[in-house]
């Protein structure tokens, strides 16, 4: 039985149209229409672990604790052979406005006010197609080194993406890390927050998706918003209004971004090494 047949069986109705949509570099994505005129967003992956979308659904549930943004509800998750699929509520997109960016800043601040005692998550999940290690730690510095940096440096080395001498540059971070990050409570964070994982809905409510959630340092989310071009100033002003950051955030944002840059290095190749190396050399 194909994945599409399994979807029809679970829905209890025929699929009359499948419209591929762009934006995903990990999954195939579609808007499907059923015989009863329902529109459903569908994500399919032919090579991911079979719990891939189960972990995403758990992350979406965590994000839905914030009521001022829209989280697309997971409808069902199913597997067929090596293929895994997630059906989600379809959300219509609108052009972003100033009000949208202000609402997104406020909503992210509300997410970051959800705390836990330790950094980490109840189990491992995924960022992109890579496993994300979430062993609980009492300090952000320990969590960041042992769960974020070390596993990916080892993976990049094993895959021969970086050399041993390049891997050794990360010892600079380990020796200086206690002087980099301000002390914060472990906050619930999105974990993969860039412009491709948020969008405005028809009433200017932010829609948010594709999480890689855990309890981390809230500045990790803010740093990643800047990594690939940044969000408009209205977003940052709104966030600051509702949950001000410690001073000098812009001077330390790059150190948080070592993690997503390592993810991109492993998934997409050596072009990301230059930025990583420049950040590490700031520590000399």
List active site positions. 192
d(Cα 45, Cα 53) in Å, to the nearest integer? Answer: 9
Phi, psi of 174, rounded to the nearest 5 degrees: -60, -35
C-beta separation of 221 from 195 below 8 A: no
Phi-psi region of 136 (alpha: psi -120 to 50; beta: other; left: phi over 0): beta
Closest CA to 159 of 277, 83, 273: 273
Other CB atoms closer than 10 Å to residue 229's CB: what's the count? 8
φ, ψ (nearest 5 deg) of residue 234:
-60, -35
């Amino acid at each position: 039985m194909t994945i599409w047949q399994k979807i029809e069986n679970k829905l209890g109705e025929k699929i009359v149209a499948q419209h591929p949509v762009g934006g995903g570099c990990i999954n195939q994505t579609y808007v499907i229409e059923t015989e009863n005129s329902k529109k459903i967003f569908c994500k399919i992956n032919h090579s991911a672990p079979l719990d891939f979308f189960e972990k995403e659904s758990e992350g979406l549930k965590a994000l839905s604790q914030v009521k001022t943004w829209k989280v697309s509800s997971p409808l069902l998750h199913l597997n067929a052979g090596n293929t895994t699929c997630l059906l989600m509520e379809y959300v219509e997109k609108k052009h972003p406005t100033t009000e949208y960016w202000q609402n997104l800043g406020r909503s992210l601040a509300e997410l970051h006010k959800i705390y836990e005692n330790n950094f980490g998550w109840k189990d491992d999940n995924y960022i992109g197609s890579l496993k994300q290690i979430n062993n609980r730690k009492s300090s952000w510095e320990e969590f960041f080194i042992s769960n974020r940096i070390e596993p990916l440096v080892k993976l990049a080395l094993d895959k021969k993406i970086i050399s041993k001498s390049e891997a050794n540059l990360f010892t600079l971070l380990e020796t200086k890390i206690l002087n980099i990050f301000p002390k914060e409570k472990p906050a619930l964070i999105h974990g993969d927050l860039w412009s491709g994982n948020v969008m405005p809905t028809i009433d200017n409510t932010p829609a948010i998706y594709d999480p890689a959630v855990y309890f981390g340092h809230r500045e990790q989310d803010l740093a990643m918003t800047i990594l690939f071009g940044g969000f408009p100033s209205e977003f940052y002003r709104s966030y600051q209004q509702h949950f001000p950051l410690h001073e000098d955030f812009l001077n330390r944002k790059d150190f948080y971004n070592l993690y997503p840059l390592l993810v991109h290095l492993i998934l997409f190749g050596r072009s990301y090494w230059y930025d990583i190396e420049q950040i590490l050399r700031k520590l000399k």
